[in-house]
Amino acid sequence: MIAVKRLATDIIGLLFPELCNACGTHLYYGEKEICTKCLYDLPYTDYHRHRENRVAKQLWGRLPVDAATAMLYFKKGTKVQNLMHALKYKGKTEVGVKLGNLLGEKLKSSEAYKEIDFIIPVPLHPAKEKIRGYNQSEFIAKGIAEVLATEISTTHLVRTKLTESQTKKSRYTRFENMQEVFRVNKKEELANKHVLLVDDVITTGATLEACGNTLIEIGVKKLSIAAIAFAE
C-alpha cells in the first residue's frame, strides 16, 4: 500500500512538478517548498547565538528589545529574495510556514527566546491585506509557533494608518512615516508579558521600531524581535 502511494505521488510529481521556491529545480520525494541543497546553502546569519548582532545594534537607542535576530542575509537577485517574493507576491504562504519552522528551531536553541507568552506578527493595514489576501508575517509566525508551542495573536496589535511604500524612503522619512500607525487592543492581556514580534525582512527597522514602542508603551515586560531576513 505504501509503495502504491509512493508511485502515485511520483506520477503526480511528473505531471505537475513541484519546484523549489529558492532555485526553481524539481523537488524530490519528501522535500517541501525548498530543496535540501538550498536549505543547506542559504546564507544563515546565526544571529540568534549572539545578542550583540547587527540587527540588535541597528535598534540600539531606538527600541528597548531584550533580543533581536534575523535568520538569513537578504540581497537582491539571490535565493533569499526568491523565497520572500514567492511568499509576499505569489501566494506561497507555505513558504512562510516552512521558513518560520526553520527560524523557530533556531530560536528554540537560544536562551534569549525562552518563555515567550505571545507571538505577534507585524500587522498589515486591512486594506492592504485585503488586496494581497493575507499577511505574510502571520504565516512566518505560524511556523515559529508550531515549533515553540506558543500562542499567536493577530488581534492585539493592529495597524490603523495606511502608509505609502517604504522601499525608496530614507531612514528618517521611514521613521516619520511610521508615527502613530499602530494601536494595541486589550492592553491588559499583554501587560507584563514576553512578546515576540515577527517580521519578514528587516531593512531600516522603522516598522519594528514603531510596533515595538507601541507595545512597550502599554506595559509589555519583555520584547524580542525575530525576522526571516536582514537586508544588508
Q: What is the DSSP string of 113-135?
A: G-S--EEEEPPPPHHHHHHHSS-
Pick from 147, 148, 125, 122: which is nearest to 136 by CA?
122
Binned at pLDDT 50, 70 and 90, residue 12 comes out as: low
Residue 223 β-bridge partners:
195
d(CA 146, CA 60): 30
Binned at pLDDT 50, 70 and 90, residue 2 comes out as: low
Q: Are 23 and 38 in contact (CB under 8 A)?
A: yes
Kindly report, residue by residue over 34-45, the tens digit of the pLDDT: 999 999 999 999
Binned at pLDDT 50, 70 and 90, residue 4 comes out as: low
Work out the average pLDDT over 173-182.
Answer: 66
Work out the average pLDDT over 50-58.
Answer: 95
Binned at pLDDT 50, 70 and 90, residue 7 comes out as: low
Query: What is the enclosing helix (H) or strand (E) of 144?
Result: helix 136-148
What is the value of pTM for the model shown?
A: 0.88
Binned at pLDDT 50, 70 and 90, residue 169 comes out as: low
Work out the average pLDDT over 94-100.
Answer: 98
Grid cell listed for 37: 541543497
